[in-house]
Amino acid sequence: MATKATIFKADLQIADMDRQYYQDHALTIARHPSETDERMMVRILAFIYNASETLGFGKGLSSDDEPDLWQKDLTGAIERWIEIGQPDEKRLRKASGRSQQVVVYPYSGNSADMWWEQNRSALNKLDNLRVINIDSESSQALEKLARRTMQLQCTLQDDEMWITDGESTVQVTKTVLKGS
Q: Supply the pLDDT for residue 84.
A: 96
Taking each helix axis from N to C end, the angle separating 37-50 and 136-143, rounded to the nearest 10 degrees, works out to: 110
Domains, the chain, ranges and CATH? 6-178 (3.10.640.10)
Looking at residue 63, what is its pLDDT?
62
Residue 62: what pLDDT?
Answer: 58
The reported pLDDT for the residue numbered 86 is 96
Please give the pLDDT value at position 151.
Answer: 98
Contacts of 35 (CB under 8 A, 6+ apart): 60, 61
What pTM was computed for the model? 0.94
How high is the pLDDT of residue 59? 75
pLDDT in tens, the chain (180 residues): 567 889 999 999 999 999 999 999 999 999 989 999 999 999 999 999 999 999 999 876 556 679 999 999 999 999 999 999 999 999 999 999 999 999 999 998 899 999 999 999 999 999 999 999 999 999 999 999 999 999 999 999 999 999 999 999 999 999 999 997
Instruction: Choose among 157, 113, 152, 118: nearest CA to 135.
Output: 113
Residues 6+ apart with CB under 8 A from 167: none
Q: Minimal CA–CA distance to 12: which of 65, 69, 50?
A: 50
How confident is the model at residue 116, as a pLDDT? 97
Asked if residue 51 lies in contact with residue 21, where contact means CB atoms within 8 angstroms, the answer is: yes
**CA 9 to centroid of chain Cα atoms:** 16
User: In the prediction, which pLDDT does 1 show?
Assistant: 53
Read off the DSSP letter of residue 34: T
